[in-house]
Amino acid sequence: MLCSFKSFVRGYKDAKTKKLKYLEAIKLMVAENRESLEIDYEDLASENGEQNICYFLPEAPVQVLRYLDRAVTEVTLSLFPFFPRIAPEVKIRIRGLPVEEDIRMLRQLHLNMLIRTSGVVTVTTGLLISSN
């Protein structure tokens, strides 16, 4: 998974501009002293992407994101050896998950899963424990 994601980051070309999308994003990230890189889910799921990562990502996000962080950090260090002065590692952010859950519909089954949600929290209440 590590090698395939590294090659995805190094070689994925934007369909419109034909430029290396994520290498350009890494350069911009370093220039702005940021430590996170946004990856589009649609790019991962495309035929030029890494569909196997899309399969495991929603079910085991902690483990998969740990590998992706490491892979992008290694790519960044190969381009910018002094990056550790900015941050110890690069954090991946996944943007554009296809399924969106309403914030009121979140339940225990969503724990430890990568989900996309919408809604605004205006009031919070205490934890309601059911005896079912």
State residue 126's pLDDT score.
77
Q: Which domains does the chain have, with CATH numbers?
A: 2-118 (3.30.1640.10)
Write the DSSP assignment of the chain as a string of letters.
Answer: -HHHHHHHHHH-B-TTT-SBHHHHHHHHHHHTT--EEEEEHHHHHSTTS-HHHHHHTTTSHHHHHHHHHHHHHHHHHHH-TTGGGT-SS-EEEEE--S-EEEGGG--GGGTTS--EEE-------PPPPP--
Q: Is 0.75 topped by the overall pTM?
A: yes
For the chain, 132 residues long, give each residue's pLDDT as a single digit of tens: 788 889 999 999 988 898 999 999 999 999 999 999 999 999 999 888 888 888 888 888 889 999 999 999 999 999 999 999 989 999 999 998 887 777 777 777 667 777 777 777 788 777 777 766
Per-residue pLDDT at 26: 96
